[in-house]
Structure 1
Amino acid sequence: MGNSSNRPAFRWLRGYALDPAVSLSFGSYRFNELTYQVRWEHLETRTQAAGAPSVPTGEYLEIIDLDPASGLVYEPVDLNDPAVLVQDGLEPNVGNPQFHQQMVYAVMMTTIANFEQALGRRLMWSERFVPDPGRARKRGKAVALIPQFVRRLRVYPHALRQGNAFYDPERKALLFGYFQSKPASAKLQLPGQTVFTCLSHDIIAHETTHAILDGVHRRYIDGAHPDTLAFHEAFSDLVALLQHFTFPEVLRGQIAQTRGDLQQQNLLGQLAMEFGQATGSYGSLRDALGQYDKQGHWHLKQPDPSDYQKQIEPHARGGLLVAAIFEAFVTVYQSRVERIRRIATGGSGILPSGAIHPDLVEELASAAARTAAEALRICIRALDYCPPMDLTFGDYLRAIITADSDLVSIDDKGYRVAFVEAFRRRGISAAGVPSMALEDLAYPRHPLGKDNATSEAIAEFLREFAGKVGYLTDREQIFNQTQRFIDGHREDRYSGLHDLIDKLIAGGASAKFHKITGLMFPKDQKTCEKQGIEWGYLSENLASYAVGNIALARRSAPDGRILNHVIVTLAQKRGVTFIKDEGEKWRIHKTKWFVPRDDGTVPGNPGECITFRGGCTLIFDLDDLTLLYAISKPLDDEKRMLLQFDYTNGSLSSAPAMYFGSDSLQAAVGPFAMMHTHVPGKGDCHGC
């Protein structure tokens, strides 16, 4: 395959639309097998002699099919084999490990492509932090960490003999399990049959989204309040759900079955049917529309405005966000097909009893597919408009409204109103806004002008960054060049973002910078450390902070405009101590701030101290070189401090104790191990 121009645009791979169990039902077997359209890429062939026996190994993924429970190493699938290429990949086969590898690869690459399209850039997995002895010596530290590029996520289709699947942020890996089913009724599944999580589209897409989200916002895996962990789960569910509607085969079948009414019970609104039934549920693991009672009867969920205040457990709370966004999608879809229904019914809009016409099925399915694709892009694109830590559902709603308003000036389909209404019906609101009106929810444009030294320095930095990074396509080159722009690089004769911020603060812009970013820059080391902030890690004469990322995004608007943005995230941390007042109520001990330690330990009683983070997302317009939005979580926000303390110490929920404090995979709890093990402080960088 010498000339790259002769390579096909896509690789076609057969797989399940949902999971193998759906193929065992007469009403659904016809549409459960489909062909995934995967962007063509060169796949390396690795043998045991060269290391891990892993194929496919591409730009983003490395499939390693080791089965520790049985001690087996499964022969890798060769997707470049002409016999495999000519038949669009291996045929679906539950008993074929090579098909398992193909299925995982196809779904993961489909999910990655959806994110790249919505975000307008190549994806990065979350970086590793490795010791840098030179920097440690320079800063007088025992250990100093620098970010290291992660080319591929390692994927293990048969890693666990248990009903679970993991994204492991420390190992940069996805691990899928297999187990013997224990259904609530033999009518649902035969007890004892083997269920492979790597054959479920929903589980694969869900865990892939966890990994992608960790790369975009790595602090979202921290549990600071009830919404943080719930968002990781809800967002991963949403991607898996909305991707259902991109599959024409399954979409047509369910549209015909429900006569176009997506509020009826249907497979499209359900997640992991086989897994849910195999672990004792009457239906899927989760359902965006309804739920089963103890007798196994399905009921449509009715939104309750008090649910947001009552539901603390992460999965249940995340279900509120999933239901809200799915409802918004269905609302827009129903509005979109009203005209089609009127044409099909002679103006009444009421379909007669019986099966609907195949042409009507096609039109309704087409409308549902377009609506789902647009809703998915809206939800993904909003990630760039979110703060880098402590995200609430209200913050996410504001991000959705702002991001969509930026790209789509006239919302003729009513997406934004549908989102707001669905959130409001579940009691989800945004803090700090006077009302739930669209104009109040959208983040205000930043007033920083172009006629001062600060903005000119920023403009020059943006010009240099765009010139160096804008035309790169290799992910590692993008990562390394971005790090040079963060830290500075003398050989390239440009200073880094750290240098720019240092100059702005030294020039008297500390108060303005704090107002914009929420970061704190006390005037000297003594004052800084007294307020619990490290001094002089990256800058010898400045409070420590971290640049989380700088990313260039190019997005196409429906009206033909191209939006060129640079997204910058900044973070800072401080140690906060709490004390009980005379009424036995916890309050902040304002004379006992402490500088957080590198190993994550605290100087006092762990039950009285937290490491608290603040920071911001800055969105710059690359065309006119101005700051558009500053979305911040101030480091001096005492309300957030108290909320984090109450949550992590069990006053709001005891759930976080199960999810933190162990890096053993066996310690993860719940289906999918959706709350991943994570050791606070492990792998942290200074200031972030």
Structure 2
Amino acid sequence: MVRRSPEFRRLRVYAIDPGLAARHETVGLNELTLMVPWESNPEIEGVLSSTQMLGPVGNYLEVVDYDPASGCYYAPVDLNETFVLAQDGLNPSELNPQFHQQMVYAVAMTTIDKFERALGRSALWAPRRLPDKSYEYVPRLRLYPHALREANAYYNPDKKAVLFGYFQVPPDSTAVAPGTTVFTCLSHDVIAHEVTHALLDGLHRRFAESTNIDVLGLHEGFADIVAIFQHFSNPDVLKDQIGRTRGDLDKQNMLGQLAQQFGRATRRGEALRDALGYVDDEGNWQRYRPNPTYLRDATEAHERGAILVAAVFDAFLKMYKSRVVDLLRIASQGTGQLPAGELNIDLVNRLADEAAKTSEHVLQMCIRALDYCPPVNVTFGDYLQAIITADADLYPVDEHHYRTAMMQSFSLFGIRPRAVRNVSLEGLLLQAGDASLGEAVPPGMEADLDNEIDRKAAYDRMEENARKAHEWLARPERAGLLEAMGIVTGTKEKVPGTVNQKKGRPVFEVHSVRAALRRGSKTNLVPDLVIEITQRRAGYFDKKDQTAADEAKPTGDAAGKGDFTFRRGCTLVVNQQTRNFRWVARTDKNICDNGELDALRQFLLSNPVSVQNAFQGPVAPGRVSNPFAAVHRD
């Protein structure tokens, strides 16, 4: 008889954070048991049993519990130990470092699982760049539960690690008991948020380059979206909040709040951020009212990200209300006014079920959209187009009008694509491929259609496919195809000397070729390849220097000699079986456009050094290599 490993392991975690246990009305909601994908790779199990300082460790993650402030390693937890397995992991505890390890591992793994299910492939981390400018495969993201003695947590793209901090509540605090140690590694929201940064960096490395006011805002807002919508997969908290709000999720509730204990401990209100509303100067909670001026006035990454979150959550509420209107009509006997008293438990269960289904679809919409975004210089408007296109691609019939809700809510908050004249569902769709463009990829390129494939093999195949795609696209007969995609070849216009060139011809980079196997409302699975193509150009802060360099004859890698790097490109969604284009997501203008170059120059010059210089290459002193640490600390 062949023994098979189980599909999941059960691990207990804090449902939100330890703060729920400090209040009588929420203490019963304090714990949650997660179904964590089971990892049974014999090689990994050998690492787990033989490595003293790692634990837990698996195919995706390794927890390193080193505390630099005290200079010690905490003993690793063995999740395969008999008694640990028998009781669904260790008991939730603020004082047990081994439980801290268990919690970061469990929440991170469930977050990864959400991405894999939405994108139809195995998750990969961003590769590590070596001194010779080549890239090295990164098998596991490192999680440090006690890395910082400060009120902060962040993803470090250089270390390929998430660093969690801890701090003591000040003595004059009234929201959290003074002297309490708050561990960010025990916040479900903080873990999901930071791991999402790492997953997004693995998908779009250039999204960490702050090239416009929306880029880092998208990173922060998207990470909040993933964290917040995981609340709805917690049935106890969901039903409790449905009951307390009498099914009206427009009211203040925990489902829309992020990092409650952290927010109260740092005197930021009931939570670090709230997708629904805010506390005014008089201490009263006020519901956000959609207003396009919010986006105009917000400049900081978290501020802009919060507007994106508010737009998505507003769309979710529209969808949820449309799904439960019949239930409320039945329960109120057609009046629309529910009777006084507690809601019937059956009604609570049905409302919670509809909220969970709606939130799951919204989260899938938001994650799937990542494959339909341009590879660089992404804006909130680009992201809206990607959401609409990705959902229409998988669900041609929008039964519950989800896409209309998204379009309306984004518009109410002032989020619109720059290049779209007609803000309608049809107008928001990306450019669709057609037969006139011909084949998009050469024969011999293969997609990994099995999510269980070895991730290193998937990475190697992605790199090989990128090489094949580049060779095929670089042929002279493909020049017209590239020009149609917004990639400059030098055949139609004069190319500035600052554009990266080789032998007098502009070059391009096939940034990545990712597989995607997804099923929507269609009966068949569609195997796609998502191809990202980019070009770069050297930018100078002084316009005179720019003009001189543009007019000079290019010599070697011109893009590496300026004050900053200007990039443009496109994302292609290609049917792997027919090898034909399906969708094209381009950046505004091409690499030769001086207006777009000047917009980037002005943005960099008008922003603080901590953001301006992040990932911009050889620029002025004060450059930081990690925008997430700076943004989160601020």
Alignment TM class, shorter chain as reference: over 0.9
Residue 56 of structure 1 aligns to a residue whose secondary structure is: strand
**Residue 466 of structure 1 pairs with residue 438 of structure 2:** no
Corresponding letter in the other structure for 1:181: V
The 2-side partners of 1:665 and 1:75 are apart by 29
> Conserved in 2, the CA contact under 8 Å of 1:576 and 1:592?
no
Instruction: Name the structure 2 match of 1:679.
Output: none
Q: More deviation in 432-441 or 375-384?
A: 432-441
TM-score using structure 2 length: 0.92
Change (3 A) 1:166 1:597: farther
Residue 474 of structure 2 aligns to a residue whose secondary structure is: helix
Change (3 A) 1:165 1:662: farther
Residue 617 of structure 1 aligns to a residue whose secondary structure is: strand
**Residue 484 of structure 1 pairs with residue 464 of structure 2:** yes
Residue 366 of structure 1 aligns to a residue whose secondary structure is: helix
> Conserved in 2, the CA contact under 8 Å of 1:130 and 1:147?
yes
Change (3 A) 1:272 1:573: same
Instruction: Name the structure 2 match of 1:17.
Output: 15
Corresponding letter in the other structure for 2:160: K
Q: Deviations over 1:352-405 (max 9, x none)?
A: 122111111100100000000010000000000000011100000000110000
- Please report how far the alpha carbon of residue 659 of structure 1 lies from its aligned counterpart in structure 2 after TM superposition: 5.6
> Conserved in 2, the CA contact under 8 Å of 1:265 and 1:289?
yes
**Residue 636 of structure 1 pairs with residue 592 of structure 2:** yes
> Conserved in 1, the CA contact under 8 Å of 2:210 and 2:612?
no
Instruction: Name the structure 2 match of 1:156.
Output: 144
Q: Deviations over 1:458-511 (max 9, x none)?
A: 4543xx222777687001011112222223xxxxxxxx22210122xx22x424
Q: Which runs of 5 or more structure 2 residues have no equivalent in the other structure?
A: 616-621
Instruction: Name the structure 2 match of 1:408.
Output: 395
Corresponding letter in the other structure for 2:162: L
Corresponding letter in the other structure for 1:191: P
Instruction: Name the structure 2 match of 1:543.
Output: 506
Residue 241 of structure 2 aligns to a residue whose secondary structure is: helix
TM-score using structure 1 length: 0.85
- Please report how far the alpha carbon of residue 302 of structure 1 lies from its aligned counterpart in structure 2 after TM superposition: 1.2
> Conserved in 2, the CA contact under 8 Å of 1:202 and 1:271?
yes
Q: Deviations over 1:153-181 (max 9, x none)?
A: 01110111111111000110011010011
Instruction: Name the structure 1 match of 2:630.
Output: 669
Corresponding letter in the other structure for 1:482: M
Alignment of structure 1 residues 48-67 onto 2, 5 Å: 53-67=53-67
Aligned residues: 624
The 1-side partners of 2:583 and 2:156 are apart by 33
Corresponding letter in the other structure for 2:14: Y
> Conserved in 1, the CA contact under 8 Å of 2:441 and 2:472?
no
> Conserved in 2, the CA contact under 8 Å of 1:183 and 1:279?
no
The 1-side partners of 2:61 and 2:7 are apart by 19
Change (3 A) 1:110 1:184: farther
> Conserved in 2, the CA contact under 8 Å of 1:291 and 1:299?
yes
Q: 1:534 aligns with which of 478, 500, 503?
A: 500
- Please report how far the alpha carbon of residue 292 of structure 1 lies from its aligned counterpart in structure 2 after TM superposition: 1.2
**Residue 656 of structure 1 pairs with residue 599 of structure 2:** no
Q: Deviations over 1:60-118 (max 9, x none)?
A: 00001111101121110110011011111111110000100000011000100000000
**Residue 231 of structure 1 pairs with residue 218 of structure 2:** yes
> Conserved in 2, the CA contact under 8 Å of 1:532 and 1:596?
no
Change (3 A) 1:397 1:39: same
The 2-side partners of 1:221 and 1:665 are apart by 9
> Conserved in 2, the CA contact under 8 Å of 1:167 and 1:174?
yes
Change (3 A) 1:667 1:614: closer
Corresponding letter in the other structure for 1:615: G
Q: Deviations over 1:529-584 (max 9, x none)?
A: x5312333xxx675332111111111111242322211100111001335569xxx
Corresponding letter in the other structure for 1:311: A
> Conserved in 1, the CA contact under 8 Å of 2:500 and 2:558?
no
> Conserved in 1, the CA contact under 8 Å of 2:5 and 2:40?
no
The 1-side partners of 2:19 and 2:265 are apart by 10
Q: Deviations over 1:118-168 (max 9, x none)?
A: 00000110011225xxxxxxxxxxx4x222211000111011111111100
The 2-side partners of 1:310 and 1:320 are apart by 11
> Conserved in 2, the CA contact under 8 Å of 1:502 and 1:542?
no
Q: More deviation in 38-47 or 311-320?
A: 38-47
Residue 346 of structure 1 aligns to a residue whose secondary structure is: coil
Residue 317 of structure 1 aligns to a residue whose secondary structure is: helix
Residue 37 of structure 1 aligns to a residue whose secondary structure is: strand
The 1-side partners of 2:77 and 2:103 are apart by 11
**Residue 436 of structure 1 pairs with residue 404 of structure 2:** no
Corresponding letter in the other structure for 2:598: L
Corresponding letter in the other structure for 2:198: A
> Conserved in 2, the CA contact under 8 Å of 1:332 and 1:371?
yes
Instruction: Name the structure 2 match of 1:293.
Output: 280
Instruction: Name the structure 2 match of 1:492.
Output: none
> Conserved in 1, the CA contact under 8 Å of 2:498 and 2:559?
no
Residue 122 of structure 1 aligns to a residue whose secondary structure is: coil
Change (3 A) 1:279 1:448: same
Corresponding letter in the other structure for 1:630: V
Instruction: Name the structure 1 match of 2:356.
Output: 369
**Residue 390 of structure 1 pairs with residue 377 of structure 2:** yes
> Conserved in 1, the CA contact under 8 Å of 2:442 and 2:469?
no
- Please report how far the alpha carbon of residue 587 of structure 1 lies from its aligned counterpart in structure 2 after TM superposition: 9.4
Instruction: Name the structure 2 match of 1:137.
Output: none
- Please report how far the alpha carbon of residue 293 of structure 1 lies from its aligned counterpart in structure 2 after TM superposition: 2.1
> Conserved in 1, the CA contact under 8 Å of 2:446 and 2:465?
no
- Please report how far the alpha carbon of residue 448 of structure 1 lies from its aligned counterpart in structure 2 after TM superposition: 3.7
Instruction: Name the structure 2 match of 1:114.
Output: 114
Q: More deviation in 308-317 or 266-275?
A: 308-317
Q: More deviation in 437-446 or 229-238?
A: 437-446
The 2-side partners of 1:169 and 1:595 are apart by 32
- Please report how far the alpha carbon of residue 334 of structure 1 lies from its aligned counterpart in structure 2 after TM superposition: 0.7
> Conserved in 2, the CA contact under 8 Å of 1:183 and 1:278?
no
Corresponding letter in the other structure for 2:473: I
Percent identity of the aligned residues? 40
Change (3 A) 1:562 1:596: farther
Q: 1:522 aligns with which of 490, 506, 517?
A: 490
Instruction: Name the structure 2 match of 1:615.
Output: 569
Instruction: Name the structure 2 match of 1:357.
Output: 344
Change (3 A) 1:397 1:595: farther
Alignment of structure 1 residues 166-245 onto 2, 5 Å: 166-182=154-170, 185-186=173-174, 188-245=175-232
Corresponding letter in the other structure for 1:502: A
Change (3 A) 1:213 1:10: same
Change (3 A) 1:353 1:127: same
The 2-side partners of 1:258 and 1:594 are apart by 67
> Conserved in 2, the CA contact under 8 Å of 1:46 and 1:52?
no
Instruction: Name the structure 1 match of 2:515.
Output: 552
> Conserved in 2, the CA contact under 8 Å of 1:53 and 1:76?
yes
> Conserved in 2, the CA contact under 8 Å of 1:658 and 1:669?
no
Change (3 A) 1:10 1:601: same
Corresponding letter in the other structure for 2:567: R
Cα-Cα RMSD: 2.8
Residue 134 of structure 2 aligns to a residue whose secondary structure is: strand
Q: 2:406 aligns with which of 391, 410, 419?
A: 419
The 2-side partners of 1:303 and 1:468 are apart by 42
Residue 94 of structure 1 aligns to a residue whose secondary structure is: coil
Corresponding letter in the other structure for 1:152: R
- Please report how far the alpha carbon of residue 591 of structure 1 lies from its aligned counterpart in structure 2 after TM superposition: 4.1
> Conserved in 1, the CA contact under 8 Å of 2:604 and 2:613?
no
> Conserved in 2, the CA contact under 8 Å of 1:182 and 1:280?
no
> Conserved in 2, the CA contact under 8 Å of 1:290 and 1:300?
yes
> Conserved in 2, the CA contact under 8 Å of 1:577 and 1:594?
no
Q: 2:455 aligns with which of 451, 471, 475?
A: 475
Instruction: Name the structure 1 match of 2:471.
Output: 499
Residue 35 of structure 2 aligns to a residue whose secondary structure is: strand
Instruction: Name the structure 2 match of 1:30.
Output: 28
The 2-side partners of 1:302 and 1:239 are apart by 22
Corresponding letter in the other structure for 1:412: E
Q: 1:337 aligns with which of 317, 324, 327?
A: 324
